[in-house]
Structure 1
Amino acid sequence: MTVSILALETSSSLCGVALLTQSDQELRVHALEHDATAEHAERLLPMVDQLLARQGMGRSQLTAVAFGQGPGGFTGLRVACGVAQGMAFALDIPVIPVPSLLAVAARDSAPVVPGLLHVIVQDARMDEVYLAAYRVVAGRQEAGFEWEPVQAPILLGSSQVGRWLEHAAAGLPPSDGRDPAIRVLGDALLAYPGLRRELEGKAGLAIGEPLRPDASAVARMALRAWHAGQAVAPELAAPLYVRDKVAYTTLERQQGAGGNPRAPEFQVSLEAMRTEHLDDVADIEQRVQSFPWSRGNFADGLHAGYGAWVARLAGRTMGFCMTMFAPDVAHVLVIAVAPEGQRRGIGGLLLAHCENEARARGLPAMVLEVRPSNLNALEFYKHKGYELLAMRKDYYPAAQGRREDACVMQKALADIQGESA
């Protein structure tokens, strides 16, 4: 069987198309590129037709259409996604979205080193960068390895990258001084010379090339996704936007805001809890609770189908929550944040996510238990709108074989729409 994938990449000023064909005998990739700003919409389809004509192939012979999903320029992302969807609808074939920063990682000319953390920093303009991190792990595909996402794309100020890397390095095994633990690459290294100077010479860190994503790399990553069954229907394809907004609105400026919205210190991402998170979760639980759940307790919760999520920051698990969704109420079973991640809004983010999941299921209220002696937690939940509902006698184990009561707290959800932390 021959697989033929057309790839489109327009997340930067580089407008590129690539045609990948794989048969039993060989794999071939042919590409066309044009580097210019604001010309993607007029150039992309003619470049597609030109490339297909050069290879003697018609559109009807395509197996799938791939596109660089972003993050990147708004207009370029919309152009590539729209063209991919239009062609796929017309040809009745699937679409393969490929994160553009993953395509940069795939372009790295350095030897593949299992465990090495590849951190991609792309110029997002306005003194900001898009950052994502990937790790090479053993895989089942022909190449023998796969790219494991460690940090989903986020937006940071260029001055924040160094601190992000320090935070990420703290969660990695120590470097032996010869082989780096982290490799940084991407065109932000060229766009912001001060960033490169800041990173050069740091222990355990290697500086790679100032690469941008290109269509050939998108095509190669799309082939991996195709074999992994990750192609989607055209209507499900969408660009990956990271920047919430490019500038303040007129009303916001009138109210005193100026310039561009600031990037947060770091962005926390929420992920469904999986088996590979359990060691981190159990470690956090041990560090913050006097009578902690065991790793087996969390594993049992996952097996029972409870709603469970982890908060990830700079590639590290910083908090978690587990919730039981009963027919009439949602019950927060356990929620915790690592000591080094506290007072950053992570607990509020996790709790708000549980509440939104409960609303989505049509549940009217959320309940939880708190020790009366845990004054900080009581104040936190009161601030989030929880009220004391009842007391449960001798609910918690306590020191010296004694027991402690539990404050049962409840928050009505039905009339609260769209609340966030």
Structure 2
Amino acid sequence: MTVSILALETSSSLCGVALLTQADEAVRVHALEHDATAEHAERLLPMVDRLLAQQGIGRGQLSAVAFGQGPGGFTGLRVACGVAQGMAFALGIPVIPVPSLLAVAARDPAPVRPGLLHVLVQDARMDEVYLAAYRVVEGGQEPGWEPVQAPILLGAGQVGRWLEHAAMDLRLPQQDGPVIRVLGDALLAYPQLSRDLAGEAWLEIGEPLRPDGPAVARLALQAWHAGQAIAPDLAAPLYVRDKVAYTTLERLNGAGGNPRAPEIQAFLETMRVEHLDEVAAIEQQVQSFPWSRGNFADGLHAGYGAWVARQAGRTVGFCMVMFAPDVAHVLVIAVAPDGQRQGIGTLLLQRCENEARLRGLPAMVLEVRPSNEKALAFYKKKGFELLAMRKDYYPAAQGRREDACVMQKALAAAQAGENP
């Protein structure tokens, strides 16, 4: 089988188009680039046509269209996504969104080092950066990437403190030499950033790279073989500046500039036995009829998926999920009272969803008490729908029982496949 993937990347001033073909394990990538602002919309499709003509490939021979999803310039992201969707709809093929910051990590020329945390910092203008972090995961024919920090918006001056907290909360491996590598074009846009970070033994400065078409194409090929291509109508840019301005009331209260992520982030790591005391303590704080420490230990022993959220050196939330052959069942998810309303619950739920998708599962289910109105509203906002009611499922006060709302979220089916 020959796989042909067209990749589009316009998240920065670089307008890039790449064509990747794989036949009999041989992979070839050809690309065209143009570096200029405000020209992506007029240049992208002519570059696509020129590249396909140069390689003697018709549009009908394409297996999928990939695009740099962002974050990045608002107009550029819409151009790449819109062109990818339009071509995919017309050709009846899937699309493959690729995080643009991940494409920067994939371009790193340094040797792959398992355990090293790649932190990407891209210029977001206005003295701000887009930041994301990934780890290399060994296994399979090529190393994969594990997301550690989803893209966020930070002030350029916040990056140093973010890195300090990351080094503390992620329990990075004790080894000789750096455990964090920083790269991205923000290093060039804000030279003071490199100067502020220099001299830390646990950190090294990489190159001021930007995402490009070949990197998007190679990551798209991995996603293709993993069954992660999606239907065109499900494709969307990854905007970090969803909220582009503060409200009048927020400004009157002193807010200015653009809404940014807090300096102290929560990071996820796999739940281990040493986390169980903190996990059980949080469970006692937030549940009327909590799981015991032994229940969590049993879950780990059974091989359930389990993660904790760490922030400022302590555990602030956790989740545990059972991956059945046909569904992912979220067994328990909780956030400490002083960590709520900070996006930690969303972070944990997203990890459950991502792990379910990686296993090819079509849906996630969970139970919640009808009396827990806050939780019901949260899950509905995240795309869960009421599936059924289970009578007398939960213990309640005074020896009574309470029903359970069974909620389900359908996960988008992967659509990777062969052309006729």
Tell me the TM-score normalized by structure 1.
0.73
Query: Residues of 2 paired with 1:9 and 1:315: CA distance?
Result: 37
Shift of 1:126: 1.9
Q: Is the 8 A contact 1:154 1:267 kept in 2?
A: no
Taking structure 1 as reference, are residues 89 and 109 closer, same or farther at Cα in structure 2, changes over 3 Å only? Answer: same
Which of 257, 262, 269 pairs up with 1:260? 257
Structure 1 partner of 2:233: 235
* SS of equivalent residue, structure 1 residue 77: helix
**Aligned equivalent of 1:361, options 386, 399, 417:** 386
One of 327, 338, 344 as aligned partner of 1:343: 338
The match for 2:276 is: 282
CA contact (8 A) 1:285 1:336 kept: no
Unaligned runs of 5+ in 1: 325-330, 370-388, 394-407, 413-421
The answer to whether structure 1 residue 122 and structure 2 residue 122 are counterparts is yes
Tell me how far apart the structure 2 counterparts of residues 62 and 315 of structure 1 sit (CA, whole Å): 48
Alignment-mate amino acid for residue 261 of structure 2: P
Shift of 1:310: 5.1
Q: Where do 1:246-395 residues align within 5 Å?
A: 246-248=244-246, 251-252=248-249, 255=252, 259-266=256-263, 276-277=270-271, 279=273, 282=276, 284-285=278-279, 292-299=293-300, 311=309, 318-321=316-319, 335-337=334-336, 343-345=338-340, 350=345, 355-357=377-379, 360-361=385-386, 390=397
How far does residue 349 in structure 1 lie from its aligned partner after superposition?
A: 5.4
TM-score (norm 2): 0.73
SS at match of 1:361: strand
Matched, 1:79 2:79: yes
1-side partners of 2:137 and 2:150: how far apart?
A: 17
Unmatched tracts of structure 2, length 5 or more: 285-291, 323-329, 346-371, 406-420
Greater relative contact order (Cα < 8 A, sep 6+): 2
Q: CA 1:22 to 1:344, structure 2 compared with 1: closer, same or farther past 3 Å? A: same
Distance in 2 (CA, whole Å) between partners of 1:360 and 1:236 is 19
Contact 1:150 1:315 in 2 (8 A): no
Deviation readout 1:236-290 (Å, 9 max, x if unpaired): 11111112222345x458856664234132476798x9xx445575253266689
How far the C-alpha of 1:101 sits from its partner, in A, is: 0.6
Distance 1:253 1:210, change over 3 A: same
Shift of 1:92: 0.7
Change (3 A) 1:66 1:322: closer
SS of alignment partner, residue 241 of structure 2: coil
Aligned twin of 1:35: 35
| Alignment match, 1:66 | 66
8 Å Cα contact 1:165-1:314 kept in structure 2: no
- Residue identity matched to 2:334: I
The root-mean-square deviation of aligned C-alpha atoms, in Å, is: 4.0
For residues 87-236 of structure 1, the aligned pairs below 5 Å read: 87-141=87-141, 143=142, 145-170=143-168, 171-176=170-175, 178-236=176-234
| One-letter code aligned to 1:155 | L
Q: Structure 2 vs 1, CA of residues 168 and 268 (structure 1 numbering), >3 Å: closer, same or farther?
A: closer
> Quick check: which has more Rg, 1 or 2?
1
Q: Which residue type is aligned with residue 44 of structure 1?
A: L
Deviation at 1:52, TM superposition (A): 1.0
Within-5 A mapping of 1:376-415: 390=397
Q: Secondary structure at the match of 2:120?
A: strand
Structure 1 distance, partners of 2:117, 2:321, is 32
CA contact (8 A) 2:282 2:317 kept: no
- State the percentage of identical aligned residues: 63
- Distance (whole Å) between structure 1 residues aligned to residue 265 and residue 388 of structure 2: 26
| 2:243–2:259 contact (8 Å) kept in structure 1 | no
Q: Aligned residues, how many?
A: 359
Letter in 2 for 1:168: A
